[in-house]
Amino acid sequence: MTTQLVRETIKSFSDVGPDPAQMYWFDTTGMLTSKTVFYQEPLLLHQPPFPRCMVCWQGGATDKENMRVWMYVHAEELDKGVVVQAWRCPNGKGIFPTKPIIYGEHKGEIRWRPLHDGDKVDPEDVEMILGFVSAWYDSLSQRVEAYIPSIQQTFTNRRKIAQGKFPTYEWRTIVVEPIKPRSASKGGTHASPRLHDRRGHLRKLASGKTVWIRNCKVGHPNKGVIFHDYKISGE
C-alpha cells in the first residue's frame, strides 16, 4: 500500500496533468529537507530513473508553517533536457505552482531555462526545484521504495471514469536497492521474470568509466506484469 501523502496528492491532481497510472511516485518525506541546496554534481551524474516521475514531500518549512511540495519530473526526450515543475501547499491553504523549467548539461555544467518562452521564473524557485531534484537523485543510491498505481478493471471503475470521477487504484510497492557490481557467472539458468520496468541507473564499466543506463522493460509478458512504486526514507 502506498503512503497517505501520495494518495492525497493523486486526489489533488486528479483533474490536471498526466494520468497518475503513467507516472512513478516517490514519497521523499524523511529524506529531503526544506533547506535542500542545489548541487550540480548529482544532476550531472544522474538522470530521472523513469520518463515520468512525481516526487512528493511534506514537512516544516518554518516553526509556524507546514509545507507540502510536489515535483513533476518529465524526461521523455533526454537529449532535449529534463522538464521540472513544482507545486507548494503551505499549511493546506491552496496550491501554488512554479513556472516549469527545463535543464540539461552543457560543457560540463547544468544550464536551465523557462520551458515556455516569455515566462519569468523566480531564481529562488529554481534553487528550490533543482535542489530537490539533486537531493532526490542522491537518495536513489540508497535503499528506497516507490509507487505506481494501476486502475482496477472493474465495472465500478469503468462507471466512475465514464462519469468523469476519480477511479480506484491498485498499488505495487517495491524496494529499490543501490545498484551492485555484477558478479561473475557461477553457471546455471533461471526462468524469465515477469515483465517489469527496470529503473535508470549508473553503471561502472570495467574501464572505470561511469555511464548512465536508461530505464527499460525486462522480463516476459506471458509471466505477468509488475507495476512499481517507491517510498524514500532517511533510515
Can you spell out the DSSP letters for 10-27?
A: HHHTTTSSS-GGGSEEEE
**DSSP H/E element including 151:** strand 146-151
Residue 87 lies in a domain: yes
Question: 48 and 75 in contact (C-beta within 8 Å)?
Answer: yes
> What is the reported pLDDT for 103?
95
> What is the reported pLDDT for 222?
47
Residue 62 lies in a domain: yes
Residue 157 lies in a domain: no
Residue 116 lies in a domain: yes
What is the full per-residue pLDDT of the chain (235 aa) written as tens digits?
A: 678 888 888 877 766 666 787 888 888 887 766 566 788 888 888 888 888 999 988 887 666 678 888 999 998 887 889 999 999 888 778 888 999 999 998 888 999 999 999 999 999 899 989 999 988 888 887 776 777 777 777 878 788 777 777 677 777 776 666 655 444 444 433 444 555 566 666 666 566 666 566 666 655 444 444 545 555 554 4
Amino acid at 84: V
> What is the reported pLDDT for 188?
38
Residue 209 lies in a domain: no
Question: 29 and 57 in contact (C-beta within 8 Å)?
Answer: yes
Cβ-based neighbours of 8, under 8 Å, separated by 6 or more = none
> What is the reported pLDDT for 219?
57
Compute the chain's Rg from CA coordinates.
Answer: 19
110-141 burial code (b ≥16 CB/10 A, e <16): bebeebeeeeebeeebbebbbbbbbbbbbbbb
Residue 67 lies in a domain: yes
* Predicted TM-score (pTM) above 0.85: no
Q: Tell how strand 24-27 and strand 52-60 pair up.
A: parallel
**Helix ranges (DSSP H) in the chain:** 4-12, 40-45, 123-139, 155-162
Residue 112 lies in a domain: yes
Q: How far apart are CA 17 and CA 161, in angstroms?
A: 16
> What is the reported pLDDT for 225?
47
Q: Residues 107-113: contacts with CB within 8 Å, 24+ apart?
A: 108/44, 109/40, 109/44, 110/40, 110/43, 110/44
Residue 159 lies in a domain: no
Quote the number of domains for the chain.
1
Identify the domain containing residue 115 by its residue range.
Answer: 4-139
**DSSP H/E element including 218:** strand 216-218
